[in-house]
Amino acid sequence: MTNAYNILNDPFLNKGTAFTKSERESLGLIGALPAKVQTIDEQATRIYDQDQLHEKGIDQRKFLMELFNTNRTLFYYVIEQHIEELMPIIYDPVIAPAIEEYSEIFMKPQGAAFLSIDNPGEIEASLTNAAGGRKIKLIVVTDGEGILGIGDWGSNGVNISVGKLMVYTAAAGIDPREVLPIVLDVGTDNQTLIDDPLYLGEKHARVTGDKYYDFVDKFVKIARKVFPDVYIHFEDFGRDNATKILNKYRKEIPVFNGDVQGTGIVCLAGVLGVLNISKQKFSDQIFLTFGAGTAGMGIANMMYREMLVEGMDPEEAKKHFYLVDKQGLLFSDTPGITPEQRPFVRERSEFVNADELTNLEAVIKTVHPTVMIGTSTTPGAFTEKAIKEMATHTERPIIFPISNPTKLIEASAEDLIKWTDGRALVATGVPSDPVKYNGVTYHIGQANNALIYPGLGLGVLASKAKLVTDEMLSAAAHSLGGIVDPNEKGASVLPPISKIRIFSDKEAISVAQTAIDQKLATPNITDAKAATENIKWIPKY
């Protein structure tokens, strides 16, 4: 192939119409492009205008993916110029149909590595091939079992790895040449995919048990061998595996789970944001977790640790938590308690009406939560009656319905504001428009782990941290304050996506500093700010 062909088809080298006259001469591109030499701004305007012509989000996404495949610099330039508008297109919520229809709309593998449990001997070659000689520092990996709240999407789930990595670069300037999206294809229990003649993954039931864990372990070991010091972000694993896998590796290598830890950090940051507005105390809060799965328990643990950091006795702190799942309030004798739920379950003897606590409303009436977080994948579960009940016992109810995508949200921000007469402090997992109520415009924070994992990652990579500790996670959560003015009427409980570059930087520095303080950073890294600045990638030619 000619040089021109190779360059114009390499998303890391291609500048398209922005190649200058002299570059065209020296690279053998003469005549391979139209005459006009454009600036990146001119290119970006053209791309943005074209993208706007598509009515549906999924079509906008397809158009942007073409750009992603051909010119990564311009792609990120456009995304950064319009981050608030385009993040929902490249990420949640439009990522959900893009995953469901992945096999149907497949065009290019987008540089991902597809690792099949049927061929564990190919892991090393697959990683090497997908990296194509690039030095990989960050991996996002999924096994596709628990994609957002939409369940098992098998190897289609690779799109969540691709999408999460896009946010890393757009939000925190992680170098896109140093990242690798991965799917562990261990089969699928989704009959729709098995029946779909176009499905591109392995067509058999999910492999479980030892064979599954051995495969995950092989992947981790080989990835760390092929890409020394690589930071591994696990995403959208199933409820039985997510925390188990995280705990297996987190004391040995730098790993992170987006759903467990990421959601925990962003919700803690949200509650801290609320308390800045309402001037209440963290240690006075009563937490109700609705949907005590991967994310729900990640959040409960993060809040619990914050109680301990504030000096509360562990047994006393536990009393601030109530878990509600399909079975109702979770008791020590409730069938089907998970290992993660076990430390937070209650005793029936604590309640005179324990047997009645089988639905959300009854639980609210009895335990009077001040904070309620929805991670149940159950749309409409926060009913008007339940919310009004909550609001009779607390002046400023803190309510975060964060199930994704949009169709699974427990209640809309608008309803929550109306039902509580503007008293609720709300954040949602998907972006929500501001709510106008009684002359006040309420800005709704997005409690999505995307707000915080990019900054955390930048801090981990900048400090070359050996591990990701609870202290680093806590630093990440605390770093988000000070951006929103809490005294403004209708203020958001979390900073807006439009400022994500600013707060990601702040967060990264705080995380890197914690790694340095904990002696987990590489010894020659002593200045968190400089280290963070040094590794940041900026989309420019």
Ligand X SMILES: NC(=O)c1ccc[n+]([C@@H]2O[C@H](COP(=O)([O-])OP(=O)(O)OC[C@H]3O[C@@H](n4cnc5c(N)ncnc54)[C@H](O)[C@@H]3O)[C@@H](O)[C@H]2O)c1
Ligand Y SMILES: O=C(O)C[C@H](O)C(=O)O
Residues at the contact surface with Mn ion, assessed by CB under 5 A: 236, 259
In angstroms, what is the minimal distance from the CB of 19 to ligand X? Answer: 40
Binder of ligand X out of 71, 403, 469, 510 (CB under 6 A): 403
Alpha-carbon span 222 to 263, nearest angstrom:
28
Nearer of residues 409 and 465 to ligand X, judged by Cβ: 409
Alpha carbon distance, N-terminus to C-terminus of the chain: 24
Nearer of residues 222 and 242 to ligand X, judged by Cβ: 242
Alpha-carbon span 338 to 325, nearest angstrom:
11
Using rule CB under 6 A, residue 292 touches ligand X: yes
* Cβ partners under 8 Å of residue 246, min gap 6: 234, 255, 256, 257, 260, 261
* Cβ partners under 8 Å of residue 236, min gap 6: 142, 143, 144, 145, 146, 147, 148, 157, 160, 258, 259
- SS3 label, residue 108: coil
448 is in an annotated binding site: yes
Residue 164 annotated as catalytic: yes
224 by Cβ neighbours in 10 Å (0-12 / 13-18 / 19+) ranks as middle
Site for ligand X (CB under 6 A): how many residues? Answer: 29
Using rule CB under 6 A, residue 376 touches ligand X: yes
404 is in an annotated binding site: yes
In angstroms, what is the minimal distance from the CB of 258 to ligand Y? Answer: 5
The neighbouring-strand residues paired with 182 are 113, 141
Using rule CB under 6 A, residue 449 touches ligand X: yes
Using rule CB under 6 A, residue 404 touches ligand X: yes
Using rule CB under 6 A, residue 401 touches ligand X: no
Alpha-carbon span 532 to 455, nearest angstrom:
10
Residue nearest ligand X, Cβ-based: 293
Binder of ligand Y out of 448, 474, 510, 532 (CB under 6 A): 448
Local structure of residue 261 (DSSP, 8 states):
I
259 is in an annotated binding site: yes
318 residue type, one letter: K
* Residues between 240 and 259 with contacts to ligand Y, criterion CB under 6 A: 258-259
Using rule CB under 6 A, residue 296 touches ligand X: yes
Q: Which of 164, 365, 464, 506 is catalytic?
A: 164
Binder of ligand Y out of 51, 152, 185, 236 (CB under 6 A): 236
Alpha-carbon span 423 to 417, nearest angstrom:
7
Local structure of residue 487 (DSSP, 8 states):
T
Q: Which of 91, 231, 304, 442 is catalytic?
A: 91
Nearer of residues 259 and 507 to Mn ion, judged by Cβ: 259
Alpha-carbon span 442 to 399, nearest angstrom:
14
Integer angstrom CA distances of residue 343 from 158, 311, 494: 33, 19, 29
Question: What track of x and - describes contact with ligand X for positions 355 through 374 (by CB under 6 A)?
Answer: --------------------
Nearer of residues 126 and 294 to ligand X, judged by Cβ: 294
Going by C-alpha positions, the residue among 418, 142, 371 that lies closest to residue 267 is 371
Alpha-carbon span 112 to 289, nearest angstrom:
35
Q: Which does 320 bind (CB under 5 to 8 A by kind): ligand X, ligand Y, Mn ion, none?
A: none
Going by C-alpha positions, the residue among 406, 146, 405, 426 that lies closest to residue 267 is 426
**Quick one: tokens of 527?**
């200045």
51 is in an annotated binding site: no
The stretch among 146-154, 305-313, 484-492, 524-532 that binds ligand X (CB under 6 A) is: 146-154
129 is in an annotated binding site: no
**Quick one: tokens of 85?**
């508008």
Alpha-carbon span 84 to 72, nearest angstrom:
19
Binder of ligand Y out of 51, 80, 92, 505 (CB under 6 A): 92
Using rule CB under 6 A, residue 301 touches ligand X: no
Residue 91 annotated as catalytic: yes
Using rule CB under 6 A, residue 294 touches ligand X: yes
Nearer of residues 404 and 514 to ligand Y, judged by Cβ: 404
Question: What track of x and - describes contact with ligand Y for positions 393 through 412 (by CB under 6 A)?
Answer: -----------x--------
Going by C-alpha positions, the residue among 405, 522, 404, 416 that lies closest to residue 459 is 522
Alpha-carbon span 160 to 150, nearest angstrom:
12
Using rule CB under 6 A, residue 377 touches ligand X: yes
The stretch among 159-167, 308-316, 443-451, 520-528 that binds ligand X (CB under 6 A) is: 443-451
Using rule CB under 6 A, residue 100 touches ligand Y: no
Instruction: Output helix, strand, coil percentages for the chain, rounded to the nearest 5.
Output: 50, 10, 40
317 residue type, one letter: A
Using rule CB under 6 A, residue 259 touches ligand X: yes
Local structure of residue 39 (DSSP, 8 states):
P
Residues making up the binding site for a divalent metal cation: 235-236, 259
Q: Which residues bind ligand X (CB under 6 A)?
A: 146, 148-149, 239, 259, 263, 266, 290-296, 324-326, 375-378, 402-404, 408, 429, 447-449
Residues involved in catalysis: 91, 164
Annotated binding site for (S)-malate: which residue ranges?
404, 448
Going by the annotation, the residues of the binding site are 235-236, 259, 404, 448
